[in-house]
Amino acid sequence: MEHADQQGRDGGLPKSNRKGLMMYFTPRDFFAVGFVLGILAAPASGQDADPELVEQARAFAEPRSMATFERQCTVTPARFPGLGEGVAATPKQLFDNLYYVGRTDVGAWVIETSDGLALIDTLYTPEDAEQIIVPGIRALGLDPDSLRVVFVTHFHRDHSGGAPYFSDRGVRVMLSEADWAQLGGPPDAESIARDGQTVMIGGTPITIVLTPGHTPGAISLVFPVFENGERHLAAVMELSPRGGVDVHREAVAGLEHLADYAESVGVDVGLHPHEMIFDPTARDFIMSDAARPAGSPNPLVIGADSVQRFADMVVTCWKARIVTMEAKE
Ligand SMILES: [Zn+2]
Q: Tell me the pairing of strands 269-271 and 230-236.
A: parallel
Ligand 1 centre to CA of 283 (Å) is 18
Per-residue model confidence as pLDDT tens digits over 221-252: 999 999 988 999 999 998 889 999 999 999 99
Q: How far is the CA of 239 from the centre of ligand 1 (A)?
A: 9
How far is residue 146's CA from residue 95's CA, in Å, rounded to a whole number?
19
pLDDT at 329 over 80: no
- Using one digit for the tens of pLDDT, what is the confidence trace for 110-125? 999 999 999 999 999 9
Give the pLDDT confidence of 141-175 residue by residue, as tens digits: 999 999 999 999 999 999 999 999 999 999 999 99
- In degrees to the nearest 10, what's the CA dihedral of 249, 173, 27, 318? 20
Q: Are 132 and 123 in contact (CB under 8 A)?
A: yes
CATH superfamily of 34-328: Ribonuclease Z/Hydroxyacylglutathione hydrolase-like (3.60.15.10)
Q: How far is the CA of 155 from the centre of ligand 1 (A)?
A: 7
Q: What residues does each domain of the chain span? A: 34-328
pTM for the whole structure? 0.86
Name the least confident of 42-46, 201-205, 212-216.
Answer: 42-46
pLDDT higher than 90, residue 176: yes
Band of pLDDT at residue 37, cut at 50, 70 and 90: very low
What is the whole-number distance in angstroms between the Cα of residue 154 and the centre of ligand 1? 7
Report the separation in Å between the CA atom of 78 and the middle of ligand 1, taken as the mean of its atom positions: 15
Greatest alpha-carbon span in the chain: 55
Least confident of 139-148, 201-210, 267-276: 267-276
b/e per residue, 199-210, with b = 16+ CB within 10 A? bbbbebebbbbb
Of the chain, the percentage scoring pLDDT greater than 70 comes to 85
**Residue 168 and residue 259: Cα distance in Å, rounded?**
35
Q: Contact 41/315 with Cβ under 8 angstroms? A: no
Predicted local distance difference test score (pLDDT) of residue 48: 82
Say how many Å lie between the CA of residue 37 and the centre of ligand 1.
Answer: 21
Q: What is the mean pLDDT of residues 206-210?
A: 98
- How many degrees, rounded to 5, is the angle at CA 60 between CA 251 and CA 23? 20
What is the whole-number distance in angstroms between the Cα of residue 294 and the centre of ligand 1? Answer: 36
